[in-house]
């Protein structure tokens, strides 16, 4: 049993498809103008496609010298150097730029590097039209390398110079990386742009995977196509038998007969029609009779009998001999057991023309089968339906070129609608009517929609259209254009579209970027909706871009200075500020001065009285006034005092003589965590010291009475000082004792 598998990502890529569609549209405009359309170089690397456009009137030229002044000239997907555009301006030519967006991006990168006095290295085939175009944008000092050996030689010339590397879109990633590694060993100032087209990578990976599972690989593509040649090279690494064919004529069917598992890959310029023809021809239905012996006379006679018994099916085009002509119909011998009837109503006739004057017995005539039985035992034929075959050819051509056609929706049916293109009727599934869910197709009846042809079966009079494919393609074009206009560091306007727990998605003109919750404000947020609203228009900064993954990271807080960077402009020691209590700990309270900037009010600075429990004096969210005692810029710490703003002579509640609150080791860790949390991520390591200082201050709460007249106040001593005092007095302390435990042991020993 033979299996034939088509690799993923086979056929036209985005750039080629766009160029073909653009060319088809410009050909129509040229016909309306009554002028010619010139193409500078072969449109794509596929003879069948370029021949088809040539038959429609497109003229392919090698240089602009062959083009008359004032003409319309198409720039193909490979792109052109700047000199081409300058020469076109001198000759007053109208250029239609169908350069692939991904190639245009390489032009921009190369030109930008050259303007910055960087040497540009292009990894690719120097004779390929795409590389020739890139070289023009990269400047006179650009170097092209085609393999690691070339790269080694070039690297010696570029030693210690600033170098920017770009790649031809269709080369293999393996070759590109090998060349980059050689260059990297000779220069430190190296910028590498992996500009291999993602579609090319996907196509090569899919071909390699399929080749490893197949007995034989068939690669379909033009022999001048670089990406098709690369597919052959890749497949030959893992598959012993690889055939490179341009079309059905190149396919050796006798060779195909030997294999059961056949894989098929296709280059970026291979039309879908040719791919389908090759696959269909390799199937067992087409090849199983190749080795049949030559038929003898009896076999031929039996074939004739079988042919006479077989009736042509509906939609089949037949050729027969006229055996009778009347004013109303023509009888035609079809070589089978039934005659064909061609009514006058199924003919295209001029006014007052009659059948007897146009046809006679013995004439050969061609028509299409409408019914295999008209009720009287005859086969009903039509010349009108045959002429509609011209429109079927147009539909088939649109399928190959991925051209957009306009179809009019005529009625709603189960699962979709029927739409007509001239005399061809096609089906648009409900899922292909729009790029969103459609509940009822009735609103589309009577409308003319731009559609792409996704399937054609002329024998069964079936065609399938998709309006969604057109809409998606337009959206992708717009997105590709947007990517070209954005750069890291740009500040752009965006609209808040939706929230998640980790951030907000912002529409920046057709693309969604992620505004992470940590990039919204310099302060802490629990949820984005604390600072933003759905539909809000904001200015955001582009922090990073990954076009391959379609991801953009945005920042909002970057539009305002980081609070500590302008601390001297807004705060000074001695200032009285207003702030909100945001955290309460045993050793003090954190007060938010502004988002991203907190100060610590030590428990001893809350009131003029002794405070044993800070939560009895302050609450989370409370607005307070405090005086700035100290600003430690190095450690990013602000010390505040509430009691300094209070009247010391005001009546105070009775003081408590209870033991002051100690800050155990757990409090140290908690203080560290609190300060680290309040500081920006970059300053985490530096924030630990203020945390320890805050915890130590909590431990340093003064005590009014001393152990003895010659003994210092133990409450004022730090842990190291307590240990030294105990050693001096010959008092042994546990290794991991807290301050409170150490004081208790010392006091007991002294008593």
Per-residue pLDDT for 295 more than 80?
A: no
Q: What is the pLDDT of residue 745?
A: 76
Per-residue pLDDT for 510 more than 90?
A: no
**pLDDT band (50, 70, 90) for residue 223:** confident
Choose among 430, 439, 440, 438: nearest CA to 465.
Answer: 430
Neighbours of 714 (CB within 10 A): 20
Q: What is the pLDDT of residue 710?
A: 46
Do residue 245 and residue 160 come from a single domain? Answer: no
- Kind of pairing, strands 537-546 and 588-594? unpaired
Rounded-to-integer distance, Cα 327 and Cα 507, Å: 69
| Structural contact between residues 532 and 504, judged by C-beta atoms closer than 8 angstroms | yes
Do residue 419 and residue 375 come from a single domain? Answer: no
Per-residue pLDDT for 656 more than 80?
A: no
Do residue 639 and residue 694 come from a single domain? Answer: yes
Rounded-to-integer distance, Cα 615 and Cα 47, Å: 84
Per-residue pLDDT for 706 more than 90?
A: no
Span 208-233, average pLDDT: 89
Model pLDDT for residues 84-129, shown as the tens digit of each residue: 999 999 989 999 988 888 899 999 999 999 999 999 999 999 989 9
CATH code where residue 114 lies: 3.40.1010.20
- 3-state SS, 383-396, equals CHHHHCHHHHHHHH
Do residue 93 and residue 15 come from a single domain? Answer: yes
Q: Is residue 213 part of a domain?
A: yes
Q: What is the pLDDT of residue 40?
A: 92
Neighbours of 72 (CB within 10 A): 17
Q: Is residue 307 part of a domain?
A: no
**pLDDT band (50, 70, 90) for residue 746:** confident
Is 250 strand, coil or helix? helix
In eight-state DSSP terms, residue 437 is -
Span 339-345, average pLDDT: 87
Per-residue pLDDT for 651 more than 70?
A: no
Q: What is the pLDDT of residue 452?
A: 92
Q: Give the residue from 526, 559, 592 where a domain finishes.
A: 559
Q: Is residue 248 part of a domain?
A: yes
Segment holding 581, helix H or strand E: strand 576-585
| Structural contact between residues 725 and 746, judged by C-beta atoms closer than 8 angstroms | yes
Do residue 611 and residue 674 come from a single domain? Answer: yes
**pLDDT band (50, 70, 90) for residue 283:** confident
Do residue 170 and residue 260 come from a single domain? Answer: no
Q: Is residue 180 part of a domain?
A: yes
Rounded-to-integer distance, Cα 304 and Cα 321, Å: 17
Sign of the alpha-carbon dihedral angle for 212, 217, 223, 224: negative
Q: What is the pLDDT of residue 318?
A: 83
Q: Is residue 654 part of a domain?
A: no
Q: Is residue 327 part of a domain?
A: yes
Do residue 73 and residue 109 come from a single domain? Answer: no
Neighbours of 164 (CB within 10 A): 22
Neighbours of 726 (CB within 10 A): 19
Q: Which residue has the higher pLDDT, 57 or 548?
A: 57
Q: What is the mean pLDDT of the chain?
A: 81
Rounded-to-integer distance, Cα 25 and Cα 92, Å: 22
By residue range, what is the domain housing residue 115? 101-196
Within 13 Å of residue 439, how many CA atoms lie on the same side as its CB?
0
Mutual orientation of helices 47-55 and 389-401 as an angle, nearest 10°? 140
Per-residue pLDDT for 678 more than 60?
A: no
Rounded-to-integer distance, Cα 444 and Cα 315, Å: 29
Span 63-90, average pLDDT: 91
Among 210-214, 224-228, 292-296, 472-476, the least confident range: 292-296
Q: Give the residue from 559, 591, 613 where a domain finishes.
A: 559
Q: Is residue 58 part of a domain?
A: yes
**pLDDT band (50, 70, 90) for residue 179:** very high
Model pLDDT for residues 602-621, shown as the tens digit of each residue: 998 888 888 888 888 899 88
Rounded-to-integer distance, Cα 735 and Cα 737, Å: 6
Among 364-368, 467-471, 745-749, the least confident range: 745-749
Question: What total number of domains does the chain contain?
Answer: 7
Q: What is the pLDDT of residue 132?
A: 93
Residues involved in catalysis: 130
Q: Which residue has the higher pLDDT, 169 or 654?
A: 169
Per-residue pLDDT for 136 more than 70?
A: yes
Q: Is residue 707 part of a domain?
A: no
Q: What is the pLDDT of residue 54?
A: 86
Per-residue pLDDT for 668 more than 70?
A: no
Do residue 185 and residue 205 come from a single domain? Answer: no
**pLDDT band (50, 70, 90) for residue 398:** confident
Rounded-to-integer distance, Cα 36 and Cα 723, Å: 98
CATH code where residue 600 lies: 2.40.50.140
**pLDDT band (50, 70, 90) for residue 653:** low
Model pLDDT for residues 412-456, shown as the tens digit of each residue: 998 899 998 876 888 999 989 998 888 888 889 999 999 999 988
Per-residue pLDDT for 577 more than 80?
A: yes
Q: What is the pLDDT of residue 652?
A: 56
Do residue 534 and residue 627 come from a single domain? Answer: no
In percent, the amount of the chain with pLDDT more than 70 equals 85
- Sheet with 59-61, side-by-side order of all strands: 59-61, 37-40, 72-75, 94-97
Rounded-to-integer distance, Cα 232 and Cα 301, Å: 46
Within 13 Å of residue 399, how many CA atoms lie on the same side as its CB?
22
Q: What is the pLDDT of residue 375?
A: 66
Per-residue pLDDT for 680 more than 70?
A: no
Is 150 strand, coil or helix? helix
Do residue 205 and residue 88 come from a single domain? Answer: yes
Do residue 575 and residue 667 come from a single domain? Answer: yes
Per-residue pLDDT for 309 more than 60?
A: no
Do residue 574 and residue 686 come from a single domain? Answer: yes
């Amino acid at each position: 049993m033979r299996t034939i598998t088509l690799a993923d990502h086979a056929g036209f890529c985005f750039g080629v498809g766009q160029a073909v569609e653009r060319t088809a549209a410009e050909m129509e405009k040229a016909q309306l103008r009554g002028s010619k359309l010139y193409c500078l170089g072969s449109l794509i690397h596929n003879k069948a496609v370029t021949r088809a456009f040539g038959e429609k009137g497109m003229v392919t030229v090698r240089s602009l010298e062959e083009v008359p002044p004032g003409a319309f000239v198409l720039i193909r997907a490979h792109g052109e150097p700047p000199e081409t555009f300058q020469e076109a301006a001198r000759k007053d030519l109208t250029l239609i730029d169908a350069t692939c967006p991904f190639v245009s991006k390489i032009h921009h990168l190369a030109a930008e590097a050259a303007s910055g006095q960087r040497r540009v290295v292009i990894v690719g085939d120097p004779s390929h039209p795409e590389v020739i175009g890139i070289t023009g944008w990269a400047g006179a000092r650009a170097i092209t390398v085609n393999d690691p050996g070339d790269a080694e030689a070039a690297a010696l010339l570029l030693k210690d110079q600033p170098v920017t590397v770009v790649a031809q879109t269709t080369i293999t990633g393996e070759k590109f990386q090998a060349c980059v590694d050689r260059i990297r060993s000779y220069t430190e100032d190296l910028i590498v742009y992996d500009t291999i087209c993602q579609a090319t990578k996907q196509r090569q990976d899919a071909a390699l995977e399929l080749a490893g599972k197949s007995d034989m690989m068939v690669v379909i593509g033009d022999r001048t196509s670089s990406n098709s040649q690369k597919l052959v090279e890749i497949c030959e690494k893992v598959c012993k038998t690889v055939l490179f064919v341009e079309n059905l004529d190149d396919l050796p069917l006798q060779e195909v007969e030997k294999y059961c598992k056949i894989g098929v890959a296709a280059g970026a310029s291979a039309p879908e029609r040719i791919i389908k023809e090759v696959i269909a021809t390799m199937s067992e239905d087409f090849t199983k009779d190749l080795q049949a012996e030559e038929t003898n006379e009896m076999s031929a006679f039996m074939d004739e009998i079988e042919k006479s018994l077989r009736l042509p099916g509906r939609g089949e085009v037949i050729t027969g001999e006229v055996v009778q002509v009347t004013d109303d119909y023509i009888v035609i011998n079809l070589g089978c057991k039934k005659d064909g009837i061609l009514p006058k109503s199924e003919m295209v006739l001029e006014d007052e023309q009659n059948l007897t004057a146009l046809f006679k017995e013995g004439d050969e005539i061609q028509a299409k089968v409408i019914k295999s039985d008209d009720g009287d035992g005859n086969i009903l034929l039509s010349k009108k339906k045959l002429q509609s075959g011209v429109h079927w050819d147009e539909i088939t051509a649109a399928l190959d070129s991925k051209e957009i056609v306009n179809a009019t929706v005529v009625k709603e049916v189960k699962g979709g609608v029927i739409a007509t293109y001239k005399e061809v009727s096609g089906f648009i599934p409900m899922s292909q009517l729009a790029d969103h869910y459609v509940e009822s197709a009735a609103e589309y009846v009577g409308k003319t929609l731009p559609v792409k042809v996704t399937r054609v079966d002329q024998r069964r009079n079936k065609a399938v259209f998709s309006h969604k494919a057109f809409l998606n393609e337009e959206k992708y074009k717009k997105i590709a254009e947007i990517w070209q206009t954005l750069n890291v560091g740009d500040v752009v306007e965006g609209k808040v579209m939706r929230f998640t727990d980790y951030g907000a998605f912002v529409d920046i003109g057709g693309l969604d970027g992620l505004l992470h919750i940590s990039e919204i404000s310099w302060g802490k947020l629990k949820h984005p909706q604390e600072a933003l609203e759905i539909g809000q228009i904001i200015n955001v900064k582009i922090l990073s871009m990954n076009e391959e993954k379609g991801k953009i990271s945005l920042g909002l807080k970057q539009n305002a200075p980081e609070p500590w960077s302008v601390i001297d402009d807004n705060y000074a020691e001695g200032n009285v500020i207003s702030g909100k209590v945001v955290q309460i700990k045993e050793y003090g309270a954190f007060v938010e001065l502004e988002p991203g900037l907190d100060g610590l009010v030590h428990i001893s600075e809350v009131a003029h009285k002794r405070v044993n429990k800070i939560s009895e004096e302050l609450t989370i969210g409370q607005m307070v006034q405090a005086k700035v005692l100290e600003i430690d810029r190095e450690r990013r710490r602000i010390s505040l005092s509430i009691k300094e703003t209070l009247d010391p002579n005001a009546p105070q509640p009775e003081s408590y003589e209870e033991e002051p609150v100690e800050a155990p080791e757990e409090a140290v860790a908690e203080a560290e965590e609190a300060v680290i949390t309040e500081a920006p991520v970059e300053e985490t390591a530096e924030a630990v010291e203020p945390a320890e200082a805050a915890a130590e201050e909590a431990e340093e709460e003064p005590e009014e009475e001393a152990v003895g007249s010659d003994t210092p106040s133990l409450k004022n001593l730090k842990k190291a000082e307590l240990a030294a005092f105990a050693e001096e007095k010959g008092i042994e302390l546990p290794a991991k004792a807290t301050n409170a435990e150490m004081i208790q042991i010392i006091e007991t020993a002294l008593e």
